[in-house]
Amino acid sequence: MNPELSLDDLNLAWQLLIALALVVSGVFALVGAIGLLRFPDFYMRLHAPTKATTLGVGGVLVASMAVTWAHGGLGVHELLITLFLFVTAPVSANLLAKAALHLRVPSQAGDPPPPKSPD
């Protein structure tokens, strides 16, 4: 990407697409942050950032890819970051939830089920 190019040099359609992606991603990130603050227990708080905030960061990366494409680049770096984020966020959330279940972290939904006995 040429550093001398700016967003002002882009077609109006590209500018609208980039602005839309940034606004949508900002809304998702805001919803994830509000959910993280307002939900009452660990399990519910874990859900908000792993879903909504992942989509928020993904939207920012899509906007970055659109800027790169509009300037004639490929946007491979942004695509790889997006794929890495979408793969690692659910895995880390699953591991955190399993650890919380193992430690018997209390939940608003009641006590976690008793541990399974080894067969």
pLDDT tens-digit profile of 91-106?
988 999 999 988 988 8
110: in domain: no
Query: Residue 65's closest CA among 12, 2, 5, 14?
Result: 14
pLDDT at 83 over 80: yes
Number of domains into which the chain is organized: 1
Domain assignment present for 44: yes
Structural domain contains residue 36: yes
Predicted TM-score (pTM) of the model is 0.74
36 pLDDT higher than 60? yes
Q: Do 28 and 55 touch, CB atoms closer than 8 A? A: yes
Question: In this structure, is residue 39 part of a structural domain?
Answer: yes
Residue 115 belongs to some domain of the structure: no
Q: Is residue 88 part of a domain?
A: yes
Q: To which residue do tokens 């660990």 refer? A: 42
- State which amino acid sits at residue 87: V
Residue 63: pLDDT band (50, 70, 90) is very high
Question: What domain range includes position 16?
Answer: 8-102
Q: Is residue 118 part of a domain?
A: no
Answer yes or no: is 97 within a domain. Answer: yes
